[in-house]
Amino acid sequence: MITGHKVAIKILNRNKIRSLDMSEKVRREIGLLRKMQHPHIIRLYEVIDTPTDIFMVLEYVAGGELFDYIVSKGRVHSSRHFFHQIVSGVEYCHFHRVVHRDLKPENLLLDGDNNVKIADFGLSNTMKDGEFLRTSCGSPNYAAPEVISGNLYAGPEVDVWSCGVILYALLCGALPFDDESIPNLFKKIRGGMYSLPSHLSDDARDLIPRMLVVDPMKRITIPEIRSGRSTTTYLTECARKVDEEVVAKCLTLQFPGGMSRDQVVQSIERDERTPLRVAYDLVLDHKNAKIRIDGAGLVHPGSTDDRIA
């Protein structure tokens, strides 16, 4: 890239997409990721179409999957740091009427500073007023009872359940619902059959059961989780504001034919997927990655505080 910043490129072969009947999944993921601008959601900078392949130019994250982090660490002492970031990203999705439907540690990536990036929106969907979802999707161990039962659901409540399973895994190093037999696994999930280890804090012992409520109507909501006593506001402003410092940096880059400030700003304000806009987003993300967020009530990696709410 002309900015000198690393990106990840996901290459999707068109023939393979068609043979696996994944066209809708890919279309949905690209469409939704283009709308997402949040520090804990993976960024899609650009999509390049060719007759044979689709190239998704994505934010580069060096830390791997949260799943591997849990496997290597067991109980995660910085669990609140991760959990708050996950919930922040999920709340942003729900605010924009998007339900992820496949939240699990394998789809939560970590950057070089161990900050969470929610990825893989292939099974996500858009919520519409007066309409319900029914599709059974996602990994069984993280799926809510109403999902595995094929019942109708609104959307946000299934993400809350998955977040509860992830929180349990972070704190315990194991899954609340696990069985080699799928029928037995589903029986445990439908019955809410799990146990809380004695080492959990009072806050965690209070929050997890409210997230893993079998009846979705009685399940705690994301706003209620965020209003907990140790949870403070940590949302990204949705409106796109032009960062003049980043614009100035872009103007120093070597673009064919050159560019002006007005061209950069116009590309941002019109939300155009142009090389100018891609360069702006890359430089902006690089700048933001250097800014440590303080005073937000978060526990940073390395802390031994496992209180959740």
Two structure tokens written together for 248:
């100035």
pLDDT (mean) for 272-281: 70
Confidence of residue 295 (pLDDT cuts 50, 70, 90): very low
Percent of the chain with pLDDT over 90: 40
Average pLDDT, the chain: 81
- The pLDDT tens digits of the residues spanning 193-220 come to 999 998 888 989 999 999 999 999 999 9
Q: What is the pLDDT of residue 296?
A: 40
Question: Is pLDDT at 256 greater than 70 in this prediction?
Answer: no
pLDDT at 3: 63
Cβ contact 213:219 at 8 Å: yes
Burial category of 181 from C-beta neighbours within 10 Å (exposed 0-12, middle 13-18, buried 19 and up): exposed
Partners of 41 in the β-ladder: 118
Q: What is the pLDDT of residue 160?
A: 96
Q: What is the pLDDT of residue 192?
A: 95
More confident residue, 305 or 99: 99
**Adjacent-strand bridge partners of 98:** 126
Confidence of residue 292 (pLDDT cuts 50, 70, 90): very low
Q: Which residues are catalytic?
A: 102
At residue 308, the pLDDT reads 52
pLDDT of amino acid 2: 65
Pairing of strands 116-118, 7-13: unpaired
Least confident range from 94-108, 118-132, 165-179: namely 118-132
pLDDT category at 183 given cuts 50, 70, 90 is very high
Tell me: pLDDT of 281 over 90.
Answer: no
Whether the predicted pLDDT of 278 surpasses 90:
no
The pair phi, psi for residue 284, each rounded to 5°, is -65, -45
* pLDDT score for 257: 63
pLDDT tens for each residue of 111-154: 988 899 999 998 888 887 777 776 767 789 999 999 888 888 88
At residue 107 the predicted structure's pLDDT band, cuts being 50, 70 and 90, is very high
Give dist(CA 12, CA 123) in Å, integer.
16
Q: What pLDDT, on the 0 to 100 scale, is given for residue 305?
A: 41
Q: What's the N-to-C CA distance of the chain in angstroms?
A: 42
Q: How confident is the model over 247-267, as a mean pLDDT?
A: 72
Any idea what the Cα angle at residue 41 is, between residues 65 and 301, rounded to 5°?
55
Q: Specify the higher pLDDT residue, 35 or 259.
A: 35
Domains and CATH numbers, the chain: 7-59 (3.30.200.20), 66-226 (1.10.510.10)
The Cα–Cα gap between 308 and 203 comes to 6
> Measuring CA to CA, which residue among 74, 156, 69 is closest to residue 116?
69
> How confident is the model at residue 241, as a pLDDT?
64
